[in-house]
Chain A
Amino acid sequence: MAKRNVSWLLLSVGFLLGLGIVMLISTCAFSETSPVEDVYKDAKRQVVWICAGVFVCVVTASIDYRLYQRWVWLLVGAVILLLIMCYIPGLGHKVNGEWRWVRLGGFQFQPSELAKIVLAAFLGAWFALHSDSGAHPTRGFLYPISIAGVMILLVFFEKDMGTALVMAATCLTVMFVAGVRWYYLGGLTSLGMCGLAVMVKLDAHRTGRILAYLDMEANKLGFAFQQWIGLMALGSGGVTGRGLGEGRLKMLYMPFAHTDFIFPMIGEELGLMFTLAVIFAFLVFALAGASISFQAPDIFGRLLGMGLVSFIVFQAALNIGVTTAVLPNKGIPLPFVSYGGSSLLAVMVAVGILLNIYRQGRTDEAENRCWVNSRRITPRV
């Protein structure tokens, strides 16, 4: 395992990317938003995004990850600035009543995607610096959580609750691995839960979603419609599925069938075999990623790696949890699989950084025979 962890990592990523593009071709033609003149436009665009993602992955794999440690404050500052820009009407771009996008020079992206990576880098850097402060109430907990909290809350108030949750979970995981006292984390978690409950109660839209989630049958034509369709898609797929391209529910009015709700479409067309394969792929990714972190040469690398692994795994778990109606409905893409450039680039950057951590961790000749290490593009910093 130790030797081959990187192969497993890349294998799982490749499988998920491949499945994603196949399913996108199968579903995008029926999407509400796809243009009539070229129904496969989204699929074509996604191929370009995947190419760009692979390129970005190779580039980040070649950049020494310790650079991020050095420039971490700059990164944190930039991300916070970008997140704030989302709220500024001229720069931010409102989609479906949510301020998730920012437009810069004809190029638009979601800063929250970047925030997830920077959050991991920030926590890694902080605890690398204060490696012995796990028990310290301020240095070991209060300061880092405040700075992380600013990022998380900025994302949260963009109305991107899913990403905020993923970030919070990532934050907790990294802090746990870093050795922060469990009762700090437990207290923080319960406090966060209470805060969340109050927020939901205050927001009629969110309250409706939660109530719909609790009584799905009764609300299957209202708030819970999307999740209900998701359940029907998964359930009707059975073990073997209807067959690729034979999905029926994508033809119903199913918003986000090719983005956030691609997982039920996999379930309907390819069945339990492939839905379990997707979960297994994420498990392999998690273990391979954790193994890379395990063997990282320093604490920053270890924590950064765990942060990146956990954000991807949490995001996948949240997406699958929502589409299988284990969790209330939140819009969040399935990493590697869902359509969408911003999200794909973010996870590919994360993979690239993991690859670099792996490469920096291997020094002995035997390990260097592994193909990922065969050429060193940039010198170590």
Chain B
Amino acid sequence: MDRSLAQLEKGMKRRIVVACAFFACGLSGLSARLVWLQVVDHEKYAEEASDHYSDRVPLPASRGEIRDRNGDLLARNQTIYTIVADCQHLRDFGITCVALAKQEGTGPRTIKQNYEPKEIVSKYLDLVSKELSGLLRIPEGELKRKLMSKEKGRIVLARDVEEDAAQEFRAVLGRYLIGGIKLEAGERRYYPSPLSLTHVIGYVDRDGFGREGVEKVFDGEMRGEDGYRYIERDRRAREIHAFRGDEREPRHGNSIRLTVDMSLQVRVEEILDEVWQQYRPEKATAIWMDPRTGEVLAMASRPHFDLTTRQGSLRNVAVSDFYEPGSTFKIVAASAALDRGLVTPQTEIYCHDGFYDEEGLKLKDHHPYGMLTVEGVLAKSSNIGIYKIARQINRLPFHDYVTNFGFGAPTGIELTAETGGMLHGIEKWNQSSFSSLSMGYAIGVTPMQMASAYCAVANGGELLKPHLLKAIEDPRGRVLWSNRREVVRRVMSDETSSLMRTALAKVTQEGGTGTNAALPGYEVAGKTGTAKKNIPGKGYADGRYVVSFAGFLPADQPELVGLVVVDDPHADGVSLYGGTIAAPIWAKMASQAVRLRGIVPQDAERHRLAEVDPSAVTIEGITD
């Protein structure tokens, strides 16, 4: 027995050693696993873990503002909030129990003991939907369904919530201790006057990219660069400030200052609205510029576009559309002939009796004019006369003048979707297209090109690049860049320019076509334009016109160039001419412009008149 017991004990002790070996093997295996996890796979898990707790938070850059030349705000940023539900937090006991305890007037622990977890969440979501449904304008049931739909992640409940409404939200969230609903601040572009200068400004889309107009052209300048910050979050997604990591400050966007004078712009828009009402045209546009610098002071187009609702036509007629200018284009032939010394302003041209028929070319004037001086040809707008002047120049030099005036190529103004118009190459010209071109047909010009061309006539013969951008300023207001006068080329000599100014001044005087553009106290120079409307595929339509007036003042030392184009006006009792429709509109705008721009009248006596009744010139009651 003893021996067997001893044997038994021996066996038992041996098996204890075996068991120990087994323990040692098992624990060694786990050690190997740990070495694998913590040494070999360390990088992988460290990266994976940092995805969980750390976050790269963008620090958004503010978009630069847009101001007019006087510093009035045209576009700024407005803080708006997105209301987001964090589904995980809505189910966090730390949040739900506290809110329910407040509602039921007990402690969080009681809530946790009294209800099942699912009940707590459901009751909490009931509370949230009840209190927020009013503010969110979502019915209670629907809101709860929405909040129940996901267990994790975020649900956007409302966008574009403005500061006032956000305050209300904060108050409600605070009052009921509601957690898991967040207000995320963002910025939205805000346009103080959403119905002015809309085609020039353009708009910013939801993602903060400029889409049209200067918002697009200067997008890179205004957008700035978002910064970032690495933060770490705890499980309730609260930032742990102690573990804040790298960060880079955002670079806020630069502001831009436009050459536009908003006070003038508003008047121009108002007048254009009246035109839109009165004549029901297809399109209308007006451009006002400073001929000395090439700065655009006002630019408006119809059909309109509303920056707030984004309703209407985005097309900026002033640069994106071209039209057959008609007689306003006659300055090209006239100044070319004067510049080359082929004619003087007093050279007499025989304009027949209103009809001209030579080698199959048939031209017609409005009236039989007989003999006219070059000035007279412009003042009466004789087609026959201008063709005869152009004929003296010859095709090639004339073509050069057309292109030198900037026609056929974009002006390069800081706007989107600018077209160069339409100008046939000289190799395609025949006699009729040459004659047509001299009187402003067979060419497509943009209003912007036409306004620039008149600037060249007005400023002494230099074609300037038109500008909308006056300056770029950094967020602190320091000027980073400011606009300089940019000469594209000299189109004509100073003397020619002077002769042209005198000749064009005759247009608005007694006997000219543009008498309606005359402004008391100022000598106005300009040219009317009445072109038959070319309907694509149908040719020139009877009774439908594109009427325009381009002009500048004061005639001897111009400070202001303006162009008004009305495409296809409808009117009863008024003839559809540039002189009868466009010229009065131009005068009405000019009367505002001289006042706002502080242009001193040349005539003291007339000055007094102008002061007594600045709106003496009206569209109503005009006769041919």
Residues of B within 8 A of A49 (CB): none
What is the CA–CA distance of A326 and B48 in the complex, to the nearest angstrom?
A: 19
Interface 9-residue window, one of A144-152, A248-256, A355-363, A369-377: A248-256
Residues of B within 8 A of A236 (CB): 42, 45-46, 48-50
Q: B39 near A282 (CB under 8 angstroms)?
A: no
What is the CA–CA distance of A173 and B50 in the complex, to the nearest angstrom?
A: 43
A233-B49, A252-B234 as given contacts; A286 in contact with B23, CB under 8 Å: yes
> Which residue of B is nearest A230, CB measured?
B37
Which positions 23-80 of chain B face chain A at CB distance < 8 Å? 23-24, 26-27, 29-31, 33-35, 37-39, 41-42, 44-46, 48-50, 52-53
Interface 9-residue window, one of B12-20, B171-179, B416-424, B601-609: B12-20
A32-B93, A235-B45 as given contacts; A178 in contact with B34, CB under 8 Å: no
B8 within 8 A of A: yes
Q: A235 near B235 (CB under 8 angstroms)?
A: no
Residues of A within 8 A of B30 (CB): 279, 317, 320-321, 324, 326
A232 within 8 A of B: yes
A176-B19, A252-B52, A293-B16 as given contacts; A279 in contact with B8, CB under 8 Å: no
Distance in Å: Cβ of A243 to nearest Cβ of chain B: 12
Q: B31 near A276 (CB under 8 angstroms)?
A: yes
Q: B52 near A235 (CB under 8 angstroms)?
A: no
What is the CA–CA distance of A287 and B20 in the complex, to the nearest angstrom?
A: 6
Distance in Å: Cβ of B620 to nearest Cβ of chain A: 74
A235-B41, A249-B49, A254-B235 as given contacts; A302 in contact with B16, CB under 8 Å: yes
A98 within 8 A of B: no
B11 within 8 A of A: yes
Task: Choose from B34, B50, B52, B93 the contact partner of A272 (Cβ within 8 Å).
Answer: B34
Distance in Å: Cβ of B311 to nearest Cβ of chain A: 45
Q: B27 near A238 (CB under 8 angstroms)?
A: no
Residues of A within 8 A of B35 (CB): 272, 276
Distance in Å: Cβ of B393 to nearest Cβ of chain A: 81
Residues of A within 8 A of B33 (CB): 324, 326
A131-B5, A178-B12 as given contacts; A231 in contact with B34, CB under 8 Å: no
Q: B234 near A290 (CB under 8 angstroms)?
A: no
A267-B38, A324-B37 as given contacts; A232 in contact with B49, CB under 8 Å: yes
A238-B38, A252-B52 as given contacts; A283 in contact with B46, CB under 8 Å: no
> Which residue of A is nearest B243, CB measured?
A248
> Which residue of B is nearest A177, CB measured?
B15
B596 within 8 A of A: no
B4 within 8 A of A: yes
B240 within 8 A of A: yes
B232 within 8 A of A: yes
Q: A248 near B53 (CB under 8 angstroms)?
A: yes
Task: Choose from A131, A248, A272, A282 the contact partner of B232 (Cβ within 8 Å).
Answer: A248
Task: Choose from B17, B27, B42 the contact partner of A317 (Cβ within 8 Å).
Answer: B27
Q: A234 near B19 (CB under 8 angstroms)?
A: no
What is the CA–CA distance of A326 and B13 in the complex, to the nearest angstrom?
A: 31
Q: B15 near A176 (CB under 8 angstroms)?
A: yes
Interface string of B111-131 (1 = CB under 8 A from A): 000000000000000000000
What is the CA–CA distance of A317 and B275 in the complex, to the nearest angstrom?
A: 90
> Which residue of A is nearest B93, CB measured?
A32
Q: B46 near A251 (CB under 8 angstroms)?
A: no
What is the CA–CA distance of A233 and B53 in the complex, to the nearest angstrom?
A: 11
What is the CA–CA distance of A252 and B48 in the complex, to the nearest angstrom?
A: 13
Residues of B within 8 A of A293 (CB): 16
Q: A239 near B38 (CB under 8 angstroms)?
A: yes
Subset of 21 A-B contacts with CB under 8 Å: A131-B8, A176-B18, A176-B19, A177-B16, A232-B45, A234-B37, A236-B49, A238-B46, A248-B53, A248-B243, A267-B34, A275-B38, A276-B31, A276-B35, A282-B27, A283-B27, A286-B20, A299-B12, A313-B27, A317-B30, A324-B37
Question: Which B residues form the contact surface with A (CB < 8 A)?
Answer: 4-5, 8-9, 11-13, 15-20, 23-24, 26-27, 29-31, 33-35, 37-39, 41-42, 44-46, 48-50, 52-53, 88, 93-94, 109, 152, 232-235, 240, 243
Q: Which are the 7 A-B pairs with shortest beta-carbon distances?
A: A235-B45, A251-B234, A253-B235, A232-B49, A236-B46, A236-B49, A272-B38
